[in-house]
Amino acid sequence: MGDWNSVVGDVSYRNIVGPHGLGRKNHRGQMLINVCERSGLIVTITWFRKPKRIVYTWKSPGDRSRHELD
């Protein structure tokens, strides 16, 4: 599929995105949700509760912001 740099956020969406994501959904995140919805897939990383300090997969230079990229 490639590297979309999508953020699906921390709000549940049907049975595709769970409640344990990080951040706010961006446009690429919505595109990923659409692909998952059409294909019958789920974003599994958002269904498991983890400490916030280990949830992020990317942080900006200077440690100003952190994101969980799916």
Residue-wise pLDDT for 22-34, tens only, equals 888 999 999 999 9
Q: Tell me the average confidence (pLDDT) per consecutive run of 10 residues in the chain, 70 residues long.
A: 78 93 89 95 90 76 72
pLDDT at 9: 87
| CA–CA dist 14, 55 (Å, integer) | 21
The total number of residues written for the chain in this structure: 70
Secondary element (H or E) of residue 41:
none
Tell me if the pTM is above 0.85: no
**Per-domain residue ranges for the chain?**
1-70
Residue pair 39/14 in contact by the 8 Å Cβ criterion: no
